[in-house]
Amino acid sequence: MGAPLVATPDGRAEAPLIEVSHLDHAFEDAGQRKPVLHDICLSVFPGEIVILTGPSGSGKTTLLTMLGGLRAAQSGSLRILGSELLQAQKSTLTALRRQVGFIFQAHNLLPYLTALANVRLGLEVQTAWLDQGQPAMDACALALLEQVGLGARSGAYPANLSGGQKQRVAIARALVARPRLLLADEPTAALDKESGRDVVDLFRHLADDTQASIVMVTHDNKILDSADRIVHLDDGRLVEGS
């Protein structure tokens, strides 16, 4: 998969985990073509945290879903974790999603599963984890819940959790399988200052320990400092920030 070697800002020579070039995207809306993304070029390297900002409706979520293989790319090139997603097969997308952790604007927990079981779903999708058995998966899921400060609430159902707690369960679910790429859409929106900070620290550890790449959408000025790089989306065009 000869991905070109590019120098990172701090001088490392590594293949980027995300490599987007000249990506356009348009929605069909009531028979009308509605362009949302224009000529996006973006590379994200292992261990790097990139924050994506921009006004509402500028296309942040759209770009994030395309990076995670949730939306098929129509034109340009979109190379994620080594596979090209332009006109990719369903099975390629599914396989990619297993290596990507996704935190959505809405938490989307399964209401009929406990917090622990919801987190475990992120492990059960990996056959390697399934083979280790349920006790091992439970232990791993519980450890993650403890890291987001919910160890004591692992048996609770989503209906009995607060909005911020639900958001943290969803974060634990995305992190539990140690994804190589984490995509987070306003992960701290529902959190207070302190737990928001904890979550960002968790992201930092993931990036440092496992060389995972993280792309995070946020309006939260308090956490901008955690980023290696900030990129700005304006009306579908990417502007590299500080």
Ligand X SMILES: Nc1ncnc2c1ncn2[C@@H]1O[C@H](COP(=O)(O)OP(=O)(O)OP(=O)(O)O)[C@@H](O)[C@H]1O
Query: Using CB under 8 A as the criterion, which residues of the chain lie in contact with another protein when the complex forms?
Result: 61, 65-66, 68, 70-71, 90-91, 94-100, 102, 104-106, 108-113, 117, 120-122, 124-125, 127, 130-131, 133-134, 137, 173, 185
Structure tokens belonging to residue 17:
């985990």
Using the rule CB under 5 A, is 61 a contact of Mg ion?
yes
Name the residue with the smallest CB distance to Mg ion.
61
d(CA 123, CA 180): 14
Stretch near Mg ion under the rule CB under 5 A, chosen from 21-29, 38-46, 54-62, 172-180: 54-62
Structure tokens belonging to residue 71:
């939306």
Residue type at 64 in one-letter notation: L
Q: Toward another protein, which CB reaches closer, 123 or 228? A: 123
Stretch near Mg ion under the rule CB under 5 A, chosen from 20-28, 55-63, 110-118, 223-231: 55-63
Write the CB contacts of 75 (distance below 8 Å, at least 6 apart in sequence). 22, 23, 24, 86
Structure tokens belonging to residue 122:
């992120």
Q: Toward ligand X, which CB reaches closer, 59 or 158? A: 59
Under 8 Å between Cβ of 218 and 51: yes
Residue 57 site contact among Mg ion, ligand X, another protein, none (CB < 5 to 8 Å, cut-off depends on kind): ligand X
Paired with 96 in beta bridges are none
Q: Toward another protein, which CB reaches closer, 13 or 106? A: 106
- φ, ψ of residue 99 in degrees (nearest 5): -100, 0
Q: How far is the CB of 108 from Mg ion (least distance, A)?
A: 14
Residues 23-42 that bind ligand X (CB under 6 A): 27, 29, 34, 36
d(CA 151, CA 173): 13
Nearest alpha-carbon partner for 124 in 138, 106, 107 = 138
| Chain contacts with Mg ion (rule: CB under 5 A) | 61
| Chain contacts with ligand X (rule: CB under 6 A) | 27, 29, 34, 36, 54, 56-62
